[in-house]
């Protein structure tokens, strides 16, 4: 079914279930979509700015070039999704989960990343600039090429995460876990590594 181009801005669609629906180019700004389910849907270029998406579930969806600026995504889940060049600036991603998909060239600048989890995700060149990552969980994530300018990590879990060759100078990683992480060639000058755990990490130059 195709709803491409639909303007449903501000509509109450809480709990809606959409399966294999084309939502490309739709305008869903400020819509209430909390606890909505999207399965096998395409949301290419879809605008979800300031939408309510708490506890929403996206499974095997495409969100390429979607905009979710200031969207409320607490406890939302994105499983096996393709998310390329999406805009999550200033979104609330507290307790949300990205798993087993591709998140490439997306911007998370200024987003609330508190207990947000990226699990077995191909995370390519994310923009975390000016972002406070509080207790994020990154398992087997690849942060190579990420923009971490002005980012702050605290109590981060970075198990088996790739940070090889990254410029981490001056960043705050207090109480973070780097177990089996790849930090080979990373620049850590001036970084705050108080009580960090590097068990099994590759710190080779």
pLDDT along the chain (205 residues), means of 10: 91 98 98 98 98 99 98 98 98 96 95 93 89 90 87 93 93 96 95 97 87
> Would you state the pLDDT for residue 143?
87
Retrieve residue 42's tokens.
């395409």
pLDDT of residue 130: 87
Phi, then psi, of 103 in degrees rounded to 5: -125, 100
Domain 88-205 falls in which CATH fold? Pectate Lyase C-like (2.160.20)
d(CA 86, CA 72): 15
pTM of the complete model beyond 0.85:
yes
Q: Please tell me the predicted confidence (pLDDT) of residue 190.
A: 94
∠138-81-140 over CA atoms, to 5°?
25
Q: Is 189 exposed, middle or buried (0-12, 13-18, 19+ CB in 10 A)?
A: exposed
**Extents of the domains making up the chain:** 1-62, 88-205
pLDDT for position 8: 96
Distance CA 111, CA 90 (A): 4
Measured distance CA(46)–CA(111) in Å, rounded: 19
Q: For position 67, what pLDDT does the model report?
A: 99
Contact yes or no for 146/124 (Cβ under 8 A): no
| Residue 96 DSSP class | -
Give pLDDT, residue 84.
98
Ramachandran angles phi, psi of 192, nearest 5°: -90, 105
pLDDT for the residue 150: 85
């Amino acid at each position: 079914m195709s709803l491409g181009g639909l303007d449903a801005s501000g509509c109450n669609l809480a709990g809606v279930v959409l399966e294999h629906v084309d939502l490309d180019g739709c305008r869903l700004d400020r819509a209430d979509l909390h606890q909505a389910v999207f399965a096998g849907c395409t949301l290419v270029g879809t605008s979800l700015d300031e939408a309510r998406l708490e506890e929403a579930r996206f499974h095997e969806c495409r969100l390429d070039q979607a905009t979710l600026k200031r969207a409320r995504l607490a406890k939302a889940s994105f499983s096996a999704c393709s998310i390329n060049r999406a805009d999550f600036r200033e979104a609330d991603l507290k307790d949300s989960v990205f798993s087993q998909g591709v998140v490439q060239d997306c911007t998370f600048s200024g987003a609330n990343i508190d207990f947000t989890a990226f699990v077995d995700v191909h995370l390519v060149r994310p923009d975390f600039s000016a972002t406070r990552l509080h207790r994020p969980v990154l398992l087997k994530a690849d942060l190579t090429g990420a923009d971490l300018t002005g980012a702050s990590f605290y109590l981060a879990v970075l198990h088996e995460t790739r940070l090889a060759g990254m410029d981490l100078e001056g960043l705050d990683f207090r109480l973070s876990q780097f177990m089996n992480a790849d930090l080979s060639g990373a620049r850590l000058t001036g970084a705050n590594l108080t009580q960090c755990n590097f068990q099994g990490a590759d710190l080779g130059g």
